[in-house]
Homo-oligomer: A and B are copies of this chain.
Amino acid sequence: MFRETTLAQTLRADVALIRLSFLVQSIYAQMCAKHDLSPAQAQLLCVIKDRPRGMSELAGLLRLERPGLSGLVDRIERRGLVRRDTPVHDRRAVTLTPSPRGQKIVEAFYAEVSDRLLEVIAHLPAADRRQFERIATKIVTIECVPAVFGDEANEPI
């Protein structure tokens, strides 16, 4: 391989990863602003959009301490986007479910983020897109990244 010829043109993987992440965060933030959600609120809604979750489980998925999550839920509940429930079999616990309005908002948000991210790779040759999906899936699977975004139906087994 003639590495010299590409050195100045191809970013090192670490730099590429950071910038890719910066790009995604930037798109995510734009869509949040458009739907009047903070990034934290949007992420919370995305995690509960397909099924309710308990507070501890959510804190783990979102990598938050539980008091921080409590506050986040307070604010988004005050806006009427989620509902706290107490399961009958354990009255210490709380499960979180999107309200009908929250569900509508998160679905619209999710769809637009997806669209915008797919645009990001739309200009690549189809072979590159497939390669990218394959390799990126490998990376996040090996690293056990929690399912903070995605459809239940389209998860790797």
User: Chain A residues in contact with chain B, CB under 8 A?
Assistant: 1, 6-26, 28-29, 63, 113-114, 117-118, 120-121, 123-124, 128-140, 142-143, 145-151, 154-157
Contact = CB atoms under 8 A, between A and B. Distances in A.
A19 B117 contact: no
Contacts of A19: 136, 140, 145, 147-150
Nearest to A11: B137
A25 B151 CA distance: 21
Nearest to A12: B154
B138 A128 contact: yes
Nearest to A129: B13
B124 A11 contact: no
B157 A16 contact: no
A23 B145 contact: yes
